[in-house]
Structure 1
Amino acid sequence: MPLGVVDVTMPELTLEDGHLWYELQGTGRPLVFIHGGWSNARAWAPQVDRFADEYQVLTLDVRGHGNTGVTDSERYSIELFTDDLERLLADLDLEQPILCGLSLGSMVVQEYLDRHPNDVAAAILGGAVRSMPPLEVPDSTKALFTPTPAIAASVALSGSRATFRSMCGSIRAATGGHWLSVNPEIRRDAIAAVGDIDRDEFRKIFDALYRYDPPDLSVDAPTLVVHGASEAPLVKRQGRQLVRDLPRGERVVLPDSGHLVNQDRPDAFNTTCATFLESAFERRRPVSSE
């Protein structure tokens, strides 16, 4: 391949009940980006631009999102999203990937790590969250007080965008700040993107987030948690707990940024990730006998 030319393919992986859209760019060690809930792969544009010259960068649209869109599955789950990731990596023959997920994507990365603790080169968790809501709630209590019926009613009545805006407003009222993004334009674009989500898909995505029961991770892979300083406090607390439980866990908080930390501070996020990866693989490099 000529110097400076980046190979780009945008095929689809056929599923039993739909298809999974993805984009593969560059060559080198696989670096996989998994977007957050009600978003799409375009949210990783600043990272793809930064890393596609050094890594084989894979982005995808999770079921219900973006170019993947509607699938026939009646119920979504983080486990199902992770099944799709497993199948995609196997189909592309990508081994020992670096996994980078934001929000919902961070849950998928955690689930993958739990299933394949020795098969991930490194992990980056942006806007890292363990559960929704971001605190420990007994399963019986979550089932009893589930907001899913209310969310389904709201989506049916008002649509995906209005329901998401209402959810964001409720969280902001509780946190007292712009937790989603400190940038009005990024907030506006994020909310606008939700309007492209099918109403029933919105409900299924919410249900997947709410029902997820995170694993107790026990992995040796270098893992970086990145939060924005304006992130919701309970989410940041979960990130601190996660790092404490991982032998090679690190955490960075970037100022002037919220939940969408990779978009609020793209250059700082990219530099943080690049530094982390350089350090992680430097530690793994064999010592020369000379």
Structure 2
Amino acid sequence: MSTIDYTRKGTGEPVVLIHGIGHRREAWGQVFDRLAASYDVIAIDLPGHGRSPAEPENKHQLEPTVDEIEELFVELGVDRPHVVGNSLGGLLALELGKRGSVRSVTALSPAAFWDVRGRVWAATSLTALKAMAMTPTPVLRLFSDKPLLRKATLWSLYTHPERLDGERALGDALSLRRRKAFFPILKQAPTVRWSGETVVPTTVAWAGQDRILLPYQAKIAQAALPKARHVVVPGVGHVPMEDDPDAIEQVIREQLAAVPAATTATLAS
């Protein structure tokens, strides 16, 4: 039985949203509600993130996590949903697409298209964020409440962190502080690199100002996934949903619209 916690809203074809390492389902911000106007949207907390309990360390590896997401599909009664993921969530979405257990994939700055330089940079940047999250809560609250201080600390995740709600920023920091899954996942980075091809319609959208998974990795992704649609979203950072929800909603909806709607018989199969 899956231990993944989630929020579900809307009706229509199912769309599953998967956040990145150290984050939580709230990362989707306005995009969640906007998609829920047209789809059955399920935003999950990955194991050991948000409100999902931590797993044994070996279960935070890639394959067991994908297995558990597929278990959740079965428990929720959704057959081959569309899936959208950011960063680590983008890699997980692509893995689901490689298995053929989803109808389409939209991957936003997905992990695992790095070279040695890219891996070291990403690991260093993410570790710095984790270290900042360990500072005393009153300090975190001060930096979360002030737009300029928020910009100084969250520049690696967003191009416009000052636009992020202060309470959301504090909640994200506290969530990152508590995430025991963070380092078990991060230490896998040297051994994880994408290989293979998805077997479903796929969009890879790279953040034009990504400061964690640097934009040159979009070219690596394009070479590794030649059958996918590749786009660059200008002016957004690594977690682009807050920087420009309009652009991210459009990218997702374009991919969803490109896949013929499932018939009732298909959804019931």
Q: Normalising to structure 2: TM-score of the pair?
A: 0.74
Give % identity: 24
2:110 alignment partner, one of 105, 128, 131: 128
2:244 is the alignment partner of 1:265: yes
Matches within 5 A, 1:94-105: 94-105=78-89
- Partner Cα separation in structure 1 for residue 133 and residue 230 of structure 2: 39
Counterpart for residue 63 of structure 1: 47
Counterpart for residue 234 of structure 2: 255
- Partner Cα separation in structure 2 for residue 65 and residue 72 of structure 1: 10
- Partner Cα separation in structure 1 for residue 215 and residue 133 of structure 2: 32
Counterpart for residue 22 of structure 1: 6
CA contact (8 A) 1:227 1:252 kept: yes
- Partner Cα separation in structure 1 for residue 46 and residue 115 of structure 2: 25
Counterpart for residue 193 of structure 1: 172
2:157 alignment partner, one of 168, 180, 203: 180
**Cα 1:21/1:126, change in 2 over 3 Å:** same
Deviation at 1:246, TM superposition (A): 2.5
Aligned positions, number: 239
Deviation at 1:191, TM superposition (A): 6.3
- Partner Cα separation in structure 2 for residue 219 and residue 27 of structure 1: 27
Counterpart for residue 73 of structure 2: 89
Which is greater in Rg? 1
- Give the AA of the match of 2:230: R
- Partner Cα separation in structure 1 for residue 13 and residue 205 of structure 2: 21
2:101 is the alignment partner of 1:119: yes
Counterpart for residue 267 of structure 2: none
Which secondary structure does the structure 1 equivalent of 2:260 belong to? helix
**Cα 1:28/1:274, change in 2 over 3 Å:** same
2:197 is the alignment partner of 1:218: yes
CA contact (8 A) 2:133 2:177 kept: no
- Listed as ranges, the gaps of 5+ residues in structure 2 are 144-153, 262-269
2:244 is the alignment partner of 1:244: no
**Cα 1:154/1:24, change in 2 over 3 Å:** closer
- Partner Cα separation in structure 2 for residue 123 and residue 211 of structure 1: 23
Deviation at 1:113, TM superposition (A): 2.5
- Listed as ranges, the gaps of 5+ residues in structure 1 are 1-13, 166-176, 283-290
Deviation at 1:178, TM superposition (A): 3.6
2:188 is the alignment partner of 1:208: no
- Partner Cα separation in structure 1 for residue 195 and residue 226 of structure 2: 13
1:80 alignment partner, one of 58, 61, 64: 64
Q: Normalising to structure 1: TM-score of the pair?
A: 0.69
Q: Which moved more, 1:225-234 or 1:102-111?
A: 225-234
